[in-house]
């Protein structure tokens, strides 16, 4: 979090061509008139898209995504605008808890201040005071005690819940993860890995806390006809569905409704506001605060773990998996790539008619089943060429692996645009051969072991 700039620097007021002048959507309501869920206390026109964002229960807007997202980990283990801890996300029934995650607060009197705490150098203590140069250590005892007490308080509240809530998948799985993460805080590691474990614990705590609040408070409000006052300490959500907007509004959850400008004709919008968005220098303003999330790229940058539409459950699963496995190194050759865009996921499927291939490069191997019933070999028949006659990896999709260094951002962007042509590349004009990186880091190729042995012998 950063306090170096002023609040107005990150309330974005885009200029440029628009489908409609924002002033024309203004239709202020009468004084004292109640705002309905499809109306707006504030509105914001997304430039060049013909879309408008209105909010019936907040006085500030957020800028939605103008295009597909390319998600990667940033500084302080956040994921930028795609992170539900930093920015409201599109609402979906399978991840309802994201809408009720509390907004950051580092005030001393905040009950959740420890969830947003960022450790400093003074919080880290060497594991062996006699050998401080080894770089291994843990957080100091006082911080560890506070974290355990803080986590135990939530676990105690969950134990007092009903059996139906205790059996919820997110609750039961989240409790196990939280217990594991608390135990791992005592494991000596480098400072960056200790900070990552703390970030995982804080993220797990927030999602578990939000799921508990959704089940015990907001899911019950959905079934009632009463209109509850908005809780401005919640993150809230985007939606383009009027039915979902009605439910969120009546539950008291901050709401931002995205529609075409034409659909707001005649709809009450009290004022046009600036929007909170990721700024050009990669900062996101924290609501009700003068602080910011610093979401600039890490050095070196992390790989892209998700490309696609925002608000998909797969994006959040990729975030969780990447965070948990960032410092996982396999010693038993069982490490699988952590991304759905891995080389294994982009192979062409193997069929029963495919020939066996000797990994040592001796060519095709004739299976024993090629003999007829009399025991003699079947006559040779030339097979028709098939594009899936061998295992091919899309070379334009990088291998996501802890041992594979990430590409520079410009090269990564180029690979995303070219991966559609990777399965049918043109003939290579190179006179030499560059080994596929998967030979060294792939988990399913036996030749990797042979190559490692050869390198160890030659050295």
* DSSP per-residue codes, 418-447: HGGGTTSPPPP--SS----THHHH-SS-TH
Beta bridge mates, 297: 74
User: Poorest-confidence range of 36-45, 219-228, 424-433, 438-447?
Assistant: 438-447
What confidence tens digit (pLDDT) does each residue in 390-434 have?
446 666 676 766 666 667 767 777 776 776 666 566 666 655 556
User: Poorest-confidence range of 175-179, 211-215, 277-281, 374-378?
Assistant: 374-378
Residue 16 has pLDDT above 50, yes or no: no
Q: How far apart are CA 56 and CA 58, in angstroms?
A: 6
Q: Which percentage of the chain shows pLDDT scores above 70?
A: 67
Q: Which residues contact 301 (CB under 8 A, 6 or more apart)?
A: 72, 406, 408, 409
Closest to 306 (Cα-Cα) out of 80, 100, 94, 75: 80
Quick one: pLDDT at residue 56?
95
Query: And the tokens for 91?
Result: 């609402």
Q: What is the mean pLDDT of residues 80-84?
A: 94
Q: How far apart are CA 58 and CA 60, in angstroms?
A: 6
Determine contact, residues 313/92, Cβ cutoff 8 Å.
yes
Q: What is the mean pLDDT of residues 241-247?
A: 95
Determine contact, residues 294/282, Cβ cutoff 8 Å.
yes
Quick one: pLDDT at residue 278?
92
What confidence tens digit (pLDDT) does each residue in 206-227 have?
999 999 999 999 999 998 888 9
Q: What is the mean pLDDT of residues 273-281?
A: 90
Residue 7 has pLDDT above 80, yes or no: no
Quick one: pLDDT at residue 164?
86
Q: Which of 27-31, 52-56, 347-351, 404-408 has the highest mean pLDDT?
A: 52-56
What confidence tens digit (pLDDT) does each residue in 174-202 have?
999 999 999 999 999 999 999 999 999 99
Q: Is the pTM of this model over 0.75?
A: no
What confidence tens digit (pLDDT) does each residue in 299-312 have?
889 999 999 888 88
Query: And the tokens for 265?
Result: 């004709």
Strands in 255-260's sheet, in edge-to-edge order, are: 42-46, 51-55, 255-260, 237-239, 89-90
Q: What is the mean pLDDT of residues 254-268?
A: 90
User: Poorest-confidence range of 13-27, 41-55, 263-277?
Assistant: 13-27
Specify the DSSP class assigned to residue 245. H
Quick one: pLDDT at residue 119?
93
Residue 74 has pLDDT above 80, yes or no: yes
Quick one: pLDDT at residue 129?
72
What ranges make up the beta strands (E) of 20-128? 42-46, 51-55, 61-62, 69-71, 89-90, 124-126
Quick one: pLDDT at residue 290?
85
Q: What is the mean pLDDT of residues 3-17?
A: 45
Q: How far is CA 62 from the centre of its chain?
A: 19
Q: Does the bond joining 300 to the residue before it have cis omega, within 30 degrees of 0?
A: yes
Residues shown for the chain: 459
Quick one: pLDDT at residue 431?
56
Closest to 124 (Cα-Cα) out of 136, 110, 138: 138
Quick one: pLDDT at residue 393?
64
Query: And the tokens for 309?
Result: 């539409």
Q: How far apart are CA 76 and CA 297, in angstroms?
A: 10
What confidence tens digit (pLDDT) does each residue in 123-171 have?
999 887 777 666 889 999 999 999 999 999 999 999 888 888 988 989 9
Q: What is the mean pLDDT of residues 20-36?
A: 71
Q: What is the mean pLDDT of residues 300-327?
A: 88
What confidence tens digit (pLDDT) does each residue in 339-349 have?
333 333 333 34
Q: How far apart are CA 19 and CA 262, in angstroms?
A: 10
DSSP-derived 3-state class of residue 74: strand
Quick one: pLDDT at residue 161?
85
Q: Which of 111 and 390 is assigned the larger pLDDT?
A: 111
Q: How far apart are CA 401 and CA 443, in angstroms?
A: 10
């Amino acid at each position: 979090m950063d306090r170096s700039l002023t609040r107005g620097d990150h309330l974005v007021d885009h200029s440029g061509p628009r489908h409609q002048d924002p002033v024309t959507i203004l239709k202020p309501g009468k004084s004292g008139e109640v705002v309905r869920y499809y109306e707006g206390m504030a509105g914001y026109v997304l430039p060049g898209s013909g879309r408008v964002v209105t909010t019936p229960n907040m006085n500030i807007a957020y800028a939605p995504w103008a295009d597909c997202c390319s998600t990667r980990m940033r500084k302080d283990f956040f994921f930028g605008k795609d992170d539900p801890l930093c920015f409201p996300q599109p609402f979906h029934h399978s991840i309802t808890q994201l809408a009720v995650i509390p907004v950051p607060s580092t005030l001393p009197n905040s009950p959740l201040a420890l969830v947003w705490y960022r450790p400093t150098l003074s919080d880290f203590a060497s594991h062996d005071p006699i050998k401080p140069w080894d770089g291994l250590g843990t957080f100091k005892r006082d911080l560890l005690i506070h974290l355990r007490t803080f986590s135990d308080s939530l676990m105690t509240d969950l134990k007092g819940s009903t059996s139906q809530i205790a059996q919820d998948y997110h609750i039961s799985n989240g409790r196990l993860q939280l217990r594991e993460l608390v135990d791992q805080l005592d494991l000596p590691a480098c400072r960056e890995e200790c900070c990552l474990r703390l970030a995982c614990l804080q993220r797990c705590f927030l999602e578990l806390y939000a799921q508990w609040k959704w089940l015990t408070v907001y899911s019950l409000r959905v079934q009632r006809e009463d209109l509850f006052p908005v809780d401005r300490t919640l993150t809230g959500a985007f939606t383009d569905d009027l039915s979902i907007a009605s439910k969120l509004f009546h539950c008291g959850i901050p709401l931002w409704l995205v529609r075409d400008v034409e659909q707001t004709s005649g709809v009450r919008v009290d004022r046009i506001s600036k929007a909170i968005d990721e700024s050009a220098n990669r900062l996101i303003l924290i609501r009700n605060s003068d602080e910011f999330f610093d979401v600039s790229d890490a050095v070196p940058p992390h790989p892209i773990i998700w490309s696609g539409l925002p608000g998909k459950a797969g994006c959040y699963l990729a975030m969780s998996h990447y965070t948990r496995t960032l410092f996982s190194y396999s010693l038993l050759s069982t490490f699988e790539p952590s991304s759905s865009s891995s080389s294994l996921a982009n192979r062409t499927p193997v069929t029963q008619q495919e020939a066996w291939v000797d990994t040592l490069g001796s060519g095709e191997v004739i299976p024993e089943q090629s003999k007829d019933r009399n025991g003699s070999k079947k006559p040779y028949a030339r097979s028709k060429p098939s594009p899936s006659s061998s295992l091919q990896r899309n070379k334009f999709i990088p291998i996501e692996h802890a041992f594979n260094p990430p590409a520079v951002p410009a090269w990564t962007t180029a690979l995303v645009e070219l991966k559609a042509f990777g399965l049918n590349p043109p003939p290579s004009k190179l006179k030499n051969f560059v080994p596929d990186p998967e030979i060294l880091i792939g988990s399913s190729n036996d030749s990797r072991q042979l190559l490692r042995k050869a390198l160890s012998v030659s050295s």
